[in-house]
Chains A and B, each alone.
Chain A
Amino acid sequence: MSATGLSPAGEADSLYGAPVIGADETVASIGAALAGVVLTPARREWRLAAAGALALAATCAALRFVLPVPALGAGGAGWWIGLASGCLMICGLLLLAGVEWRCGIGRLAQTAALFGASLATLFPASVHPMSLAALLAASAGLWGAALLPDLALLCDRLAEGGPAGASSRRGRFYRLAACGFRGSAGQWRVWDGACRGLALLGILAAVAVLTDLAVATALRSDRHDTLLPVALLVEAVLSGAGLTAALAVALRRVQGLDGLVTGRHLDILGRLILALGLAALYCHVTECVAAFLYGGAAERTHLARRVLGDGAPAFWMLMLVGLLPSQLFWIGTVRRKATALGLIGALVAIGLGADHGLIARSAVAPADAAFSQALLAAFGPAAAALCAIGVFALGLFLVFRLVPPVSIVETRQLALARNSGAASDAAGSEPKPQGGRLAATFRSEAGLSEAVRSLTVLDRPPRLDAFGPVPMPEAAEALHRVGWRLRWAALGGAGLGAAAYLAVRAAEGVRAFDGAGAAVLSWAVLAVPVLSAATAGGTLGLVVALCYALRREAGAAPSSALAGRFVLTVVPSADGFNPAALLRRLNGLPEGAGRPLAVDGIAAAGPRR
């Protein structure tokens, strides 16, 4: 059932908003546009920009070898951890909530999370290494899993260009990376479940690393506010939304994807930034009021130092650059202006980095803090930050030449739900069945599902399989594809991860049992790293199970399975199979409710329409 079908008639734009996808977008046009972004030769501007980013990254990376690691500044780790966690939480929450319009920004947020988590490992980390590893694993797992259908489609596109395309280096890479994804109903079901599981694990990893950062700060500094973890979480999501908004605006401008990353997307991002800005403001004001009304003398002194003393630059940068500009989005025209959104989004991401950086810097060991006295303290962190920004930009340039910047599958799902004619011009060659099979083509998943139901009531039903360009829950249900129990793989992996971490810590505790052993094993010390270990283990378990299940559910897909149409393949049963009767049965179904557009294979001498 489409979302519009559920909404009341005549709903105002102010309530449900403008369309989240261009009215002309179809399954075929989306595939062509987004595959074209990747497969067409790079433009001169892209080469120049990539070269500039590479030069910046290379110049600054050289400093990485010149300067000692603590001189790079722990603040950088806090900033990138915040950005990565925020982006991961945004895409994870949107995916779990089943929000349709996520397609426009989901891939951007996932990619930013992956690069952010990777870059955080370059800096001296103030969090437990397990927390950072879990963040990296969860970001990479979700990014990679969400990519699989798009990679398979790109592989098919290259194959359409001839054998040279399929056997090219890029074609071989796509085929290998797609893990055998062919678009069968079973594979779609497995993929959908895995993505949801990875999204949940990603959220847990993000929460764990931010809690770890807050607790590390409380242990090593005089900032003990209990709202700090919540404030870090809100600020992380806010900075992630700001970064995603800036990237979305840039993508629209550079690639001209106005029909896929619409003005409605930008409007929603603006509203999200505004609401999160208010939430962050609540956290900081509450912290100040609580310290003033209920706190002792020490807390008030700390508050005064933070607002007016040595913490003032970071505090006021957070307020004036990070939070204040977000309040401009109360004005509708500012919110809907792409340039303003991109600029304010970038400002928000930078401004909130001040708080994350300050927190991470105060959470490092005092020995590292001694570098604040050195000359390097002024130079090192700035160079490291420039280096990281260069690597981030270069990574985006390179990755979006290899994979589509917007998810093809999710955008197609949205088009099929919102645009009534989205499936009508689904292009591609007619399906080419293999091994004496029948292949029936349908315009929609509903039609295919009806045909499956009509065939499964036969006395000796043939073996059926369904293929399509988007997930097909209804067809999978009709085919009785129960799906793989990926959740058990995730739970098993999580249990193993947590157990392994506890075993290592227990061994350390036994070795150091001279009074400190008890502290090593206290639940307050173990809680967050165990959660991170469980998340990392769960991610690994889920990814392995996904790869295995995709191979098992592949089936023999027709060549055009991912091109845009829904294809039902029929494998003749060993005895008593009557293709003509089967064909009569299919053609006897009402149009639009099970009758195929075309049938190919042994029963049809050439395509029969």
Chain B
Amino acid sequence: MSVQEKGGAARKAAGAKSAAAYFRDPARRPAAVFAAGAGCLLLAWHLAGLPELAPAYLFAWTCLLALPAGALPVVIMIERADAWRPQPETALLETLRGFLVLMPVAALLSLPLLPAAARLYSAAAPPESDGALTALWFSDALLAGRLGLYFALWTGLALLFARRGGEPWAKAGRIDDGRAVLGLGLHTVVGTLAAWDLVMAVGAGAEGRFHASAFGLLVMAAWSSLALAAAILVAPPDIGPARRRHDRLTPLAVLLLVWVGLHAVQFLMLDAAADPQAAAWYRLRSGLPGRALALAGLMVTALAAILTLRPGENRTRLVAALAVAVHLAELAWFVTPAFRDGFGITLTDVLALAGVAGLAAGLTPALRRLVPGLAVTPAWPGRERGGKGAKSGKGAGKDAAPGDMRRKPVVRPPEPS
């Protein structure tokens, strides 16, 4: 044994750890990720300055908000659709419920937006001729109040619908029409107003007050599509008959079609109206990267629609990955061009995205401990990454990670005929 090996053995015996190992410890991982996220944001601030960072942070934060806010209606629809055609509990549904617990984290991370509101939403301020009521609506105080209300309602809904799962085939996991209508209705109203306030109203005055009443639905469709695509990427394969494992693509294709349809309809109506503010809004976003993004969105949607004819697990994940990329770019397309000369993804945007992701990953475990309602059953108790079974989903009993053996099957085994 060399001297170095002897030293290492002695340190191990004394319980000492290297710096890397210290942060790799699962107990300290959230703190490490939080620190890394904060570091990314500080670096972005240092490199680009606050005026450049504020829109990038807003873009990154809307990406985070998209996960819980987009997952909420999908969870409600899947659970309620069960009453028409009973479906087994799937890992996808559990993953979407897992996204719901990010809602309070998104609420917490919206706080830095409040001091930046004057910079981000200066174009939304109405002219004096619009009257006192409109002026009040766009005041900073009422904006903060509305944000508080949105997140109070959204967090309540997220807690309600995240808690209802966790027990496959239990009655508590099913919702009736009343709760479904209440949940969807509240989410639609809150989502519309939030999309107007936070995304549609961005601007520094260069493009005027763009507005479109379908904008709320459009943003909510993008959020839901992003959340579903992300869940498909993250969720492990279901255990069960092949035809059940492969039907994740159809809902994603439907959501992508709705999203593309809303984009097209909004453009056609504004084009027919020949509204100068709308023309300026689109002109700012229709450079080469903007057109490439539009083309990419169309192609991903067409690919999703075509692949529903020949579904497969890898194809579904490919479409989901492409959809996530397109939606992330789209959220930047909504927000950042208003503060730049056109659309483009910059290093500041990437750093802000990494920073917000790090902060969210670091805050989530702490918030779960603080708020009892968030302590839902993890999506896949005992299933850790790695292991052949976890990756392929084949032969889950034989090749799965040790934790899989204790896990309840998420798809009900076929009944004996």
Contact = CB atoms under 8 A, between A and B. Distances in A.
Interface of A: 1, 3, 5-8, 10-12, 14-17, 97-101, 207, 211, 214-215, 218-219, 224-230, 271, 274-275, 278, 282, 286-287, 289-295, 297, 446, 487, 524, 527-528
B169 A8 contact: yes
A377 B378 CA distance: 66
B14 to A, nearest CB: 55
Contact of A218 (B262, B264, B273): B273
Interface in B172-221: 174, 176-177, 181, 185, 188-189, 192, 196, 209, 211-217
B290 to A, nearest CB: 16
Contact of B269 (A98, A100, A228, A286): A228
B213 A226 contact: yes
Nearest to A3: B86
Contact of A215 (B216, B269, B415): B269
Contacts of A12: 171
Contacts of A6: 86-88, 412
A8 B88 CA distance: 10
B214 A207 contact: no
Between B87, B189, B212, the greatest number of chain A beta carbons within 10 A of the residue's beta carbon is seen for B212
A14 B129 CA distance: 53
Contact of B83 (A15, A219, A286, A527): A15
Given A6-B412, A99-B85, A224 B268 contact: no
B192 A294 contact: no
Contacts of B269: 214-215, 218, 224-226, 228-229
23 contacts: A1-B415, A6-B86, A11-B174, A15-B83, A97-B85, A99-B85, A211-B265, A214-B265, A215-B272, A218-B269, A224-B270, A226-B265, A226-B269, A226-B270, A271-B177, A275-B181, A282-B185, A286-B216, A287-B213, A290-B212, A291-B213, A293-B137, A527-B268
B334 interface: no
Contacts of A295: 211
A527 B85 contact: no
Nearest to B201: A294
B267 interface: yes
Given A211-B265, A229-B265, A290 B211 contact: yes
A99 B84 contact: yes
B214 A97 contact: no
B86 A7 contact: yes
Contacts of B265: 211, 214, 226, 229-230
B309 interface: yes
Nearest to B177: A271
B272 A294 contact: no
A293 B209 CA distance: 11
B137 to A, nearest CB: 6
B287 interface: no
Contacts of A226: 212-215, 265-266, 269-270
B85 A100 contact: yes
Contact of B264 (A100, A287, A527): A527
A290 B270 CA distance: 14
Interface string B58-74: 00000000000000000
A410 B209 CA distance: 53
Nearest to A289: B213
A278 B181 contact: yes
A219 B272 contact: yes
B212 A97 contact: no
B268 A524 contact: yes
A524 B393 CA distance: 46
B134 interface: yes
Contacts of A294: 196, 209, 211
Contacts of A224: 269-270, 272-273, 275
Closest 6 A-B residue pairs measured CB to CB? A224-B273, A294-B211, A290-B213, A218-B272, A6-B86, A226-B214
Given A6-B86, A215-B272, A286-B192, A225 B213 contact: yes
Interface residues of B, number: 48
A401 to B, nearest CB: 32
Contacts of B49: none
Contacts of A17: 83
A153 to B, nearest CB: 26
A289 B83 CA distance: 35
A534 to B, nearest CB: 13
A5 B417 CA distance: 10
Contacts of B273: 218, 224
B176 A15 contact: yes
Contacts of A278: 181, 185
Interface string B87-102: 1100000000000000
Given A97-B84, A487-B309, A5 B213 contact: no
Interface in B263-314: 264-273, 275, 309
A282 B189 contact: yes
B170 interface: yes
Contacts of B137: 293
B217 A230 contact: yes
Contacts of B112: none
Contacts of B397: none
A218 to B, nearest CB: 4
A583 to B, nearest CB: 24
B261 interface: yes
Contacts of A11: 171, 174
A245 to B, nearest CB: 17
Interface in B127-145: 129, 134, 137
B181 A16 contact: no
A1 B192 contact: no
Contact of B267 (A98, A297, A524): A524
A297 B185 CA distance: 30
Nearest to A4: B86
A292 B171 CA distance: 45
Contacts of B185: 278, 282
Contacts of A230: 214, 217, 262, 265
Contacts of B129: 297
A222 to B, nearest CB: 9
A227 B134 contact: no
Nearest to A16: B83
Contacts of A15: 83, 171, 174, 176
B414 interface: yes
Nearest to B250: A96
A227 B214 contact: yes
A495 to B, nearest CB: 13
A215 B268 contact: yes
Contact of B415 (A5, A274, A527, A528): A5
B9 to A, nearest CB: 57
Nearest to B137: A293
A282 B214 CA distance: 11
Given A99-B85, A225-B214, 18 more contacts: A1-B414, A8-B171, A14-B176, A17-B83, A97-B84, A97-B85, A211-B268, A214-B269, A219-B272, A224-B269, A224-B272, A226-B212, A226-B214, A226-B266, A227-B214, A282-B189, A294-B209, A527-B264
Between A1, A274, A286, A524, the greatest number of chain B beta carbons within 10 A of the residue's beta carbon is seen for A286
Contacts of B213: 225-227, 286-287, 289-291
Nearest to B138: A293
Contacts of A528: 268
Between A211, A224, A295, the greatest number of chain B beta carbons within 10 A of the residue's beta carbon is seen for A224
A525 B174 CA distance: 46
A49 B189 CA distance: 47
A268 to B, nearest CB: 9
B50 to A, nearest CB: 28
Contacts of B83: 15-17
Nearest to B86: A6
B271 A524 contact: yes
A226 B81 CA distance: 29
Given A226-B215, A286-B213, A487-B309, A98 B85 contact: yes
Nearest to B267: A524
